[in-house]
Amino acid sequence: MDLLDEAMARLCAVPAGDAGRREAALERAAALFTRRGIGRAVLQVGGVVVHDLWHRGWQPVDVVRVARRELAVRHARIAADLVAAEHREYPAARLLRRWAEQLAEASATVWWGDDDAYVEGVAAREKCEPAVLGRAVVELFELLSQLPELPRLMPVPCETGSTGTAEAGGVESSLLGKIRALLTKAESTSFPEEAEALTAKAQQLMSQHSIDVAVLAAERGERQVPGGVRVAVDAPYEEPKAVLLQAVAEANRCRTVWSKNLGFSTVVGFVSDVEAVELLFTSLLVQAQAALQMAGARKRGDGSSRTRSFRQSFLVAYATRIEERLGRVAEQTVKAAGRAGRTAALLPVLASRAEAVDDQMDELFGELSYSHGSAYANDREGWAHGTAAADRAELHTRAGAVR
């Protein structure tokens, strides 16, 4: 471990822009991976690195995602191994539900046997020589050690108590399963009418549940605190995707901050609303991408491609139209609750929760200036197709379809 620490220290001491010295330091560090028993040192150093990241606001999925985004899939798999190894000291009962779900999503499991044999095992998995693997590990350590601090969205495992898995305010697992099943079917069907009906039912369940949770918490005098989640906003066409996420979030009483350089947006809101945003955004994005594939490529009169500008404009128009329609959905949901005799109780509750979300945004992100996102579109046909696709992705409330 001391040798690996020293190699990493020398690598980090290389001045920025000195490619020759950095390459030499990388080679020296990678050469250590031919030594017997280096696996334990890798996992120990990796554990220190990722443990520090938890205290700087990073979460398991964030770590794996940034490794894949900035380096390669191999680095992401190694990052998942480091996360799994570090979590061996935490009893499962102490993990928050959303944290435990991230471990599963990142495939962070201890699959190897003795730690000393880890390097040999992962080299076999990756089908590469130990020195090649060593370079990948050192590159990963270098990346993770230089990541910026992020707002902390939830307690880290070493700070959660034995009841950490019992988080209140989210969507019940049975209801969440129904919603996911409905949206999965909506995304896979080739019949627009069926997709509309399935999406309608899912939206109805999400909207009504959010209102029920808000009113019930107020009636019981429960003080719920907004939280946050990071949602991947991947290339290509990140900007219109971020705008679409913002539209979905605002319709569900949440706020967003897009971290373009890190490939995600942070959604801040109450748990049930944040979960609704994740589910609906994912489904709408899948439907938009399916429509883009059906639209095919585009060419200019001279034969050059204009597919990129077409798709950019398509997604901007899609996000703009979805925003309009979701705004009406949110309004009709509140009106429907009013017809059920709940307006007097609901409106002050929603106003209070909106204020709490704003306060949480200020606490997490300080003096940032928040503005409505926009994205550039210059392809008229792409705009028309995107608007039409958004119209086909009909959203319903309990009161009926939004026309």
My answer on whether 155 and 206 are in the same domain is no
164 inside domain: no
291 inside domain: yes
Largest CA distance in the chain: 73
My answer on whether 188 and 309 are in the same domain is yes
My answer on whether 152 and 248 are in the same domain is no
Domain end, chosen from 109, 136, 159, is at 159
Name the more confident of 11 and 209. Answer: 209
Q: 5 near 100, Cβ under 8 Å? A: no
pLDDT score recorded for residue 220: 84
HEC-encoded secondary structure of 299-345: ECCCCCECHHHHHHHHHHHHHHHHHHHHHHHHHHHHHHHHHCCCHHH
283 inside domain: yes
Domain end, chosen from 100, 131, 159, is at 159
Number of domains in the chain: 2
My answer on whether 121 and 244 are in the same domain is no
In angstroms, the CA 273 to CA 217 distance is: 14
Chain-centre distance of CA 206, in angstroms?
Answer: 19
- What's the mean pLDDT in 12-36? 72
My answer on whether 139 and 177 are in the same domain is no
Range of the domain at 211: 173-401
In angstroms, the CA 285 to CA 265 distance is: 15
My answer on whether 155 and 240 are in the same domain is no
166 inside domain: no
Q: 329 near 203, Cβ under 8 Å? A: yes
The residues, any chain, with a CB within 8 Å of residue 342's CB and separated by 6 or more, are 211, 215
Summarize pLDDT for 37-93 with one digit per residue, the tens.
Answer: 788 888 998 999 999 999 999 999 999 999 999 999 999 999 999 999 999 989 988
233 inside domain: yes
In angstroms, the CA 93 to CA 161 distance is: 8
pLDDT score recorded for residue 401: 38
165 inside domain: no
Q: Phi and psi dihedrals of 165, rounded to 5?
A: -80, -10
In angstroms, the CA 280 to CA 197 distance is: 14
My answer on whether 78 and 53 are in the same domain is yes
Tell me which residue of 42, 63, 60 sits closest to 118, measured CA to CA: 42
90 inside domain: yes
pLDDT score recorded for residue 8: 61
Q: Please compute Rg for the chain using Cα positions.
A: 24
Domain end, chosen from 129, 159, 189, is at 159
Q: 295 near 220, Cβ under 8 Å? A: no
My answer on whether 290 and 192 are in the same domain is yes
390: pLDDT strictly greater than 90: no
232: exposed, middle or buried (C-beta count within 10 Å: 0-12, 13-18, 19+)?
Answer: middle
294 inside domain: yes
My answer on whether 261 and 364 are in the same domain is yes
My answer on whether 140 and 187 are in the same domain is no
Summarize pLDDT for 216-274 with one digit per residue, the tens.
Answer: 888 888 878 899 999 999 989 999 999 999 999 988 889 999 999 999 999 999 988 99
Summarize pLDDT for 325-374 with one digit per residue, the tens.
Answer: 777 777 777 777 777 666 667 888 888 989 999 999 999 998 665 555 55
pLDDT score recorded for residue 166: 39
Cis? peptide before 236, omega within 30° of 0 = yes
Confidence bin at 125 (pLDDT 50/70/90)? very high
My answer on whether 273 and 363 are in the same domain is yes
pTM of the model: 0.82
My answer on whether 155 and 188 are in the same domain is no
DSSP states along 126-190: HTS-HHHHHHHHHHHHHHHHTPPP----S--GGG--TTTT---SS--HHHHHHHHHHHHHHHH-S
Summarize pLDDT for 175-199 with one digit per residue, the tens.
Answer: 888 888 888 888 887 776 777 677 7
